[in-house]
Amino acid sequence: MIETRETPLDEPLLLDLLNTTPIVDGAQRDDLADAEAGRRWLTAHDQPASDAEWHAILDARAALQNVVRGDEVPASLARFVDGVYYRASLAGDGVAWNLDLPKGRSAAARAVLTWDALRVSSPGRLRPCANPECRLFLIDHSKPNRARWCSMAACGNRMKARRHYQRTRSTT
C-alpha cells in the first residue's frame, strides 16, 4: 500500500483497534476473536483482510495496549515497523514521499506509526480510561488535556456518581 506522507494520521484505526477488547456486562469481549471477525474489522477500516493481517493486528493490539498503559516499553513495537519506509519521488515542483508498508502486516504497521505520531505531536493525549473497570482508551483532543474517561455518558457519569455516593455516605 502506498500513500503520501501528508495523509492525516489514522487515529480511528488506532483508537478502534485499542478499543476492541471492551468490558460488556462485566466480562471482557474480544471483537477480533476469530478470523472472520478480524477480516470484517480490517475491511471496515479499509485495510487488507488476510489471515496474516489479522494475526499481525492481534499482536499489535496487545503490544500497543500494553505500551499505552505503561506495562511495556515502546521498543516492543519495533517488529511491527520493520520493513516500513518512505520512498521519495519527484512530483510537480517538489518531492513526494510515499509510505511503503509490509504485506501481511500493513494495518499493524499503520497503527504503530499512528501511535508514534501521536506520541510526538500530542504527548500524553492517548491514554486508558480512568475508570479502573474499563478497558477502553481515548485520544484527548480538548485544549486543556483533562479528559479522563472514554465516554462522559458511561464511565464519566459512573465515576462521578460513585464519588458523590462515597462523599455523601462518609458525611452521614
pLDDT tens for 91-104 read 888 998 888 999 99
**Residue 5 has what pLDDT?**
46
Q: How far apart are the first and last CA of the chain?
A: 63
**What letter represents residue 134's amino acid?**
C
Evaluate if residue 131 carries a pLDDT over 80: yes
| 127 sits in which H/E element | strand 126-128
CA distance 150 to 142: 13
CA distance 137 to 14: 10
**What letter represents residue 15's amino acid?**
L
CA distance 116 to 141: 16
Closest residue by Cα to residue 156 from 127, 131, 124? 131
- The DSSP symbol for 142 reads S
Percent of the chain whose pLDDT exceeds 90: 66
CA distance 65 to 20: 10
CA quadruple 45, 109, 57, 70: dihedral, nearest 10:
-110
CA distance 123 to 30: 28
**Residue 155 has what pLDDT?**
81
CA distance 14 to 111: 5
Evaluate if residue 4 carries a pLDDT over 70: no
pLDDT in tens, 18-50: 999 999 888 999 999 999 999 999 999 999 999
CB atoms within 10 A of CB 105: 26
Q: Place 150 in a pLDDT band, splitting at 50, 70 and 90.
A: confident
**Residue 164 has what pLDDT?**
55
Contact 78, 85 (CB under 8 A): no
Q: Which residue has the higher pLDDT, 163 or 109?
A: 109
